[in-house]
């Protein structure tokens, strides 16, 4: 059979609510044209994020009933630790309430003011946590990553020559770690190749710098390696993931993505001394090291979710359903970041709305139009999120895991194509309020 179907049936349903265009216009005005400020019940299809929005399986719900809520030594922590070590292979597993808590603890222990941390592309919380420590976050994507139309299969790769130049320029002593984000979320959900991980690792080894992964979407990255990297087609996603992690010293993880859970995360390291310091910091703000700010039942959901995320039937459907969205948009002429990545399709707002300069937030304008058109919420990843250093203005249509069916995706395609047809009438926006960091969450804007 050629047809790829959702590899599950639906046992529990959640109604979604239609709104009228007039209602959406009023809600958008009240939200100051920032879709983060919309009430969720005013949204029909929510593609704001794939984070914490997955539908859990019957096995995960069943495991939650086994949650051991003991403050210390919980058996749920043991299930969690075993599952994480089975997939990732690192020595120490430190639970956190989500990815950014792992980042804060890792950087709190490893970085000091004046340090420099390279990454293929830092996610916004990663960058903000580094800057909060007084360290500098440097993005080293390969040149193809900055060309939305390029169909290079591994646009998540780090520019290894640029990494070497950076080390020569600032000195290895100022670089406490190198990070690789799998997949590269801010750069289009694009994968990092196994070959690139090896090349980065050998540079790190030459200078004695530890390599850490931001592993949020490791399963999607592993499956894209299987599909795209020569010589990897016969390996399982699990084997590829293990091979990648065997090249690193640790990771941060948001289990809200490829952990298929609604909350949770962890920090891993092979370094005993660092693990001790990290657990001490954990106790200060997150919780005891066998729960890290999570309920025992959350640990159980993650333990099962990590295994399900590597199921090849699931991954095949997941990657195919995101590609389906991308390919139908491309067929209609809509400019997207090519090729379709792991968890989302990214509209290229600069090419979609060439008459709106970056300073007038073309991505925010496009996201607002999609909401007005069809009640769909997407997110800008561009000038509002990153300021003037934004290399692209993108609108991310993030697909929650196991939540929407193909007809929902067909509806999204129709809506984007409608907005594309009347793109010339769309206007830019001006900024009325911004917070000192992570301004996109609370910014207020108005149409020009």
Least distance CB 125 / ligand F0G (angstroms): 5
Task: State which residue, 4 or 128, has the beta carbon closest to ligand F0G.
Answer: 128
The answer to the question of residue 95 lying near ligand F0G (CB under 6 A) is no
Binding-site member from 34, 49, 262, 290 for ligand F0G (CB under 6 A)? 49
Least distance CB 333 / ligand F0G (angstroms): 27
- Rounded to 10°, the helix 160-170/194-207 angle is 20
- Rounded to 10°, the helix 362-374/21-30 angle is 140
Segment contacting ligand F0G (CB under 6 A): 97-105, 295-303, 309-317, 414-422? 97-105
Binding-site member from 83, 129, 157, 185 for ligand F0G (CB under 6 A)? 185
Q: Are the C-beta atoms of 94 and 292 separated by less than 8 Å?
A: yes
> How many beta carbons lie within 10 A of that of residue 403, not counting itself?
15
Segment contacting ligand F0G (CB under 6 A): 123-131, 156-164, 268-276, 364-372? 123-131
Least distance CB 97 / ligand F0G (angstroms): 8
Segment contacting ligand F0G (CB under 6 A): 77-85, 98-106, 110-118, 329-337? 98-106
Binding-site member from 117, 137, 216, 345 for ligand F0G (CB under 6 A)? 216
The answer to the question of residue 254 lying near ligand F0G (CB under 6 A) is yes
The answer to the question of residue 298 lying near ligand F0G (CB under 6 A) is no
**Terminal-to-terminal C-alpha distance of the chain:** 51
Cα separation, 345 vs 47, whole angstroms: 10
Q: Are the C-beta atoms of 203 and 235 separated by less than 8 Å?
A: no
Task: State which residue, 297 or 426, has the beta carbon closest to ligand F0G.
Answer: 297
User: Which residues, 6 or more positions from 108, have their beta carbon under 8 angstroms from its beta carbon?
Assistant: 133, 281
Least distance CB 103 / ligand F0G (angstroms): 7
Cα separation, 302 vs 83, whole angstroms: 9
Binding-site member from 74, 83, 181, 383 for ligand F0G (CB under 6 A)? 181
Cα separation, 341 vs 227, whole angstroms: 12
Task: State which residue, 341 or 428, has the beta carbon closest to ligand F0G.
Answer: 341
Q: Are the C-beta atoms of 260 and 305 separated by less than 8 Å?
A: yes
The answer to the question of residue 314 lying near ligand F0G (CB under 6 A) is no
- Name the token pair of 330: 């491309």
- Rounded to 10°, the helix 237-246/218-228 angle is 110
Q: Is the link from the previous residue into 339 a cis peptide, with omega within 30 of 0? A: yes
The answer to the question of residue 214 lying near ligand F0G (CB under 6 A) is yes
User: What is the layout of strands, in order, in the sheet containing 92-96?
Assistant: 92-96, 265-269, 250-254, 211-214, 178-181
| 118: enclosing H helix or E strand | strand 116-119
Binding-site member from 80, 90, 107, 123 for ligand F0G (CB under 6 A)? 123
The answer to the question of residue 98 lying near ligand F0G (CB under 6 A) is yes
Backbone angles phi, psi at 141, to 5 degrees: -70, 160
- What number of chain residues touch ligand F0G (CB under 6 A)? 15
Nearest-CB residue to ligand F0G? 99
The 1-40 site mask, x for binding ligand F0G (CB under 6 A), equals ----------------------------------------
Q: Give contact residues for ligand F0G (rule: CB under 6 A).
A: 49, 51, 98-100, 123, 125-126, 181, 185, 214, 216, 254, 256, 265
């Amino acid at each position: 059979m050629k047809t790829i179907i959702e590899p599950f049936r639906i046992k529990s349903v959640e109604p979604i609510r239609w709104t009228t265009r007039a209602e959406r216009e009023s809600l958008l005005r009240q939200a100051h044209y920032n879709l983060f400020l919309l009430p969720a019940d005013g949204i029909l299809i929510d593609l704001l994020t794939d984070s914490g929005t997955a539908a859990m399986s019957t096995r995960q719900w069943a495991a939650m009933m086994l949650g051991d809520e003991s403050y210390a030594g919980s058996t749920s922590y043991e299930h969690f630790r075993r599952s994480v070590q089975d997939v990732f292979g690192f020595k120490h597993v430190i639970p956190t309430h989500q990815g950014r808590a792992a980042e804060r603890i890792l950087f709190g222990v490893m970085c000091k003011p004046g340090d420099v941390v390279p990454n293929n592309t830092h996610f916004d919380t990663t960058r903000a946590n580094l800057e909060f420590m007084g360290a500098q976050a440097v993005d080293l994507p390969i040149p193809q990553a900055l060309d939305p139309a390029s169909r290079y299969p591994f646009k998540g790769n780090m520019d290894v020559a640029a990494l070497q130049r950076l080390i020569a320029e600032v000195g290895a002593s100022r670089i406490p770690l190198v990070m690789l984000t799998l997949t590269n979320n801010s750069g289009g959900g694009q994968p990092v190749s196994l070959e690139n991980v090896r090349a980065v690792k050998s540079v790190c080894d030459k200078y004695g710098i530890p390599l850490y992964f931001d592993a949020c979407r490791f399963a999607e990255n592993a499956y894209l390696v299987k599909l795209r990297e020569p010589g990897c087609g016969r390996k399982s996603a699990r084997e590829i993931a293990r091979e990648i992690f065997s090249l690193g010293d640790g990771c941060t993880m948001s289990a809200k993505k490829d952990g298929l859970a609604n909350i949770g995360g962890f920090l891993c390291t092979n370094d005993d001394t660092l693990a001790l310091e990290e657990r001490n910091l954990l106790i200060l703000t997150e919780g005891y090291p066998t729960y890290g700010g999570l309920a025992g039942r959350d640990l159980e959901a993650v333990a099962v979710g990590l295994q399900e995320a590597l199921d090849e039937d699931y991954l095949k459907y997941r990657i195919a359903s995101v590609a389906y969205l991308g390919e139908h948009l491309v067929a209609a002429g809509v400019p997207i970041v090519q090729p379709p990545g792991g968890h989302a399709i990214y509209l290229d707002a600069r090419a979609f709305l060439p008459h709106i300069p970056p300073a007038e937030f073309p991505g925010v304008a496009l996201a607002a139009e999609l909401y007005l058109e069809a009640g769909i919420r997407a997110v800008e990843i561009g000038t509002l999120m990153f300021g003037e250093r934004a290399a692209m203005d993108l609108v991310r249509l993030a697909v929650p895991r196991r939540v929407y069916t193909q007809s929902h995706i067909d509806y999204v395609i129709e809506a984007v194509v409608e907005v594309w047809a009347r793109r010339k009438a769309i206007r830019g926006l001006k900024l009325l309020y911004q917070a000192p960091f992570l301004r996109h969450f609370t910014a207020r804007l108005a149409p020009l």
